[in-house]
Amino acid sequence: MRRKAQNWGTAVLAAALVLSLAACGGTSGNDQAKGDASTSGKTAEPEKLTHLTYWVSMHPAAAAQMKTYAEMGMYKELERITGVKVDFQHPPTDSTQAQEQFNLMMVSEKLPDVIETSWIGYPGGPEKAIQDNKIIKLNDLIDQNAPNLKKLLDEHPDWKKQVTTDDGSLYMFPFFRGGDKVRVFYGPSIRKDWLDKLGLQMPTTIDEWHEVLKAFKEKDPNGNGKADEIPLYFTKDDIGTDAPFLGAWGINYGFYQIDNSVKYGPIQPEYKEFLATMNQWYKEGLLDKDFAAPNDKLFDAKMTGNQLGAAPTYNGGGIGKYANLMKDKDPKFNLVAAPYPVLNKGDKPIWGQKDFATNGIGAAISTSNTNPTETVKWLDYAYGDQGNLLFNYGKEGEAYTMKDGKPVFLPEVLNPPSGVSLQQSFAKHNRSTWSAPFVLSDEFQMQYLALPNQKDALTVWSQPTGERKMPLVTPTKDESSQFASIMTDINTYKDEMFLKFIMGAEPIDNFDKYVKKIEAMGINDAIKIQQAALDRFNKR
């Protein structure tokens, strides 16, 4: 998959539309969630935890080779170590069907013991999920029974702020990206072999990119004697909040903040300048004519057909993927990370993909859980030294071995047979290539990214400051509803006009009319909602 996840506003909008049923459901389980679980007066917990029900979406890399996470190497070993048998409940891998199943589950009387999801998407956020008596507040339970997670949160107050509600509640065992190397995995990439063949330097500014793309189009860098080169490919999904190319103008495709003042990128004067530039590139044939209709298979065909010169890609699913696919077909093929472009030479880029320590996904304990204390202890194992090894790598001897005091994946894991992707190979043993309640380590990343170009990409793509990025704020239930009603139509119109302006169907001179229409659709009210949520976040 090439497409990057949508921003907070889009995520909350989608969740608000599909989760409203869950938010208005009645109480279920016990009344424990109304206060902190450890002070609710519940004393009849079993002495030993032997069984848990656990709801979590299954990643496609795992679904391709197992029916349940219980078949995964790390969970088999976790059961052996803890004596706890887990009955995993997986919704369909289709996101729409999964959301429907989540909605139905959340209004049922009996919930799974543990629910792992992105709780920011719940209408009103995790704070409302606690108020709705769906999940329990974990502050005291973590203080008293989760020494590993407690130590981690104490050592990283910025991480704790990201996983705490506006009222100070801890509500989940989070997925954390432990260091910068595992927070950067996407950005602009370019055919370095084409640059070298044409005697060109790596572009760093928009003007330099323009000159490079023109050369790609006009000077036959693939050497087949045909004018079939496609200099640049990106879509509105690629632009996203990570804003490759758009970010050169200091804005993004959604909401951002400057000095804690929220703004909306697609109505700024800088956005008009971006659109005018992209319209020029489109007219000159520098931008792929198919950019308006994204197609991953078609993209693969163009990249492996030696036609594409540059595109935003993932590190593993882009640079690594195409290097492997092209190593026999074209040994000179060299796709490398390119710096996020800026307007002026020497400027520091502001926008680029770099995740926060957490992405909002984590495991919460439901109000149906009859033994939350022991469940907390079970979840906390992942944040200790031995749990860290297990969750990052899998079972020792089956997935990795220790060399000079460090875990090293076995050759058969790093070199899967034909037809099995590297991510699928890892998925037999661990969940390190997607989210789970543990801390992802930089050491894992450096083994997962086997090629020098992939390791170099971590440095190249980590340059943006990210200073204008919105944190993972939490709207109230009323804010979620109002935001959704406003942004549904705005997003549709914004996306439509993005294509029209760039392709020339709408003159750039009509940009002011476009802005006025978005303002009439209520964007200022949406900005106020984001501002209120940001203000609350800053007070945590």
pLDDT in tens, 457-488: 999 999 999 999 999 998 998 999 999 999 99
Predicted local distance difference test score (pLDDT) of residue 276 = 99
pLDDT band at 172 (very low <50, low <70, confident <90, very high): very high
Q: Containing H/E element for 310?
A: strand 310-314
**Has residue 41 got a pLDDT over 50?**
no
List the chain domain ranges: 30-179+357-440, 186-337, 477-538
Tell me if 329 sits within 8 A of 261, measured CB to CB.
no
Percent of the chain with pLDDT over 70: 91
In this chain, the answer to whether the domains covering 30-179+357-440 and 186-337 adopt an identical fold is yes
- Overall pTM surpassing 0.85 (yes/no): no
Q: Containing H/E element for 51?
A: strand 51-55
pLDDT band at 299 (very low <50, low <70, confident <90, very high): very high
| Interacting residues of 468 by C-beta distance below 8 A, sequence separation 6+ | 250, 252, 256, 257, 258, 350, 351
DSSP 466-478: -TT--------HH
CATH of domain 30-179+357-440: 3.40.190.10
**Has residue 32 got a pLDDT over 70?**
no
Work out the burial of residue 207: count CB atoms within 10 Å of its CB; fewer than 13 is exposed, 13-18 middle, 19 or more buried: middle
Q: How far apart, in Å, are the Cα atoms of 180 and each of 124, 250, 425?
A: 30, 22, 24
Q: Once rounded to an integer, what is the mean pLDDT over residues 244-270? A: 98
Name the residue with tokens 């439509």.
496
Predicted local distance difference test score (pLDDT) of residue 123 = 84
- Residues 266-282 have pLDDT tens digits of 999 999 999 999 999 99
Degrees, nearest 5: CA angle 194-314-239: 90
| Interacting residues of 51 by C-beta distance below 8 A, sequence separation 6+ | 84, 85, 86, 87
Better-scored residue on pLDDT, 522 or 5: 522
Which CATH superfamily groups domain 186-337?
A: Periplasmic binding protein-like II (3.40.190.10)
Q: Per mean pLDDT, which range of 31-35, 192-196, 209-213, 311-315 is the poorest?
A: 31-35
pLDDT band at 509 (very low <50, low <70, confident <90, very high): very high
Better-scored residue on pLDDT, 19 or 106: 106
Name the residue with tokens 């409203």.
20
Q: How many C-alpha atoms does 318 have within 13 Å on its Cβ side?
A: 27
Predicted local distance difference test score (pLDDT) of residue 47 = 76
Predicted local distance difference test score (pLDDT) of residue 44 = 59
Average pLDDT, the chain: 91
Q: Containing H/E element for 211?
A: helix 206-218
Q: What whole-number distance in Å separates Cα of residue 110 and Cα of residue 20?
A: 19
- Residues 373-386 have pLDDT tens digits of 999 999 999 999 99
Sign of CA dihedral 235, 238, 241, 243: negative
Better-scored residue on pLDDT, 89 or 5: 89
Percent of the chain with pLDDT over 90: 81
pLDDT band at 236 (very low <50, low <70, confident <90, very high): confident
Q: Once rounded to an integer, what is the mean pLDDT over residues 409-428? A: 92
> Which of 482, 473, 469 is closest to 534 using CA atoms?
473
Tell me if 363 sits within 8 A of 135, measured CB to CB.
no
Q: What whole-number distance in Å separates Cα of residue 354 and Cα of residue 5?
A: 12
pLDDT band at 315 (very low <50, low <70, confident <90, very high): very high
- Identify each DSSP E strand in 172-218 by its residue range: 173-174, 176-177, 186-191
DSSP state of 342: B
**Has residue 6 got a pLDDT over 50?**
no
Predicted local distance difference test score (pLDDT) of residue 500 = 98
**Has residue 4 got a pLDDT over 60?**
no
Predicted local distance difference test score (pLDDT) of residue 268 = 99
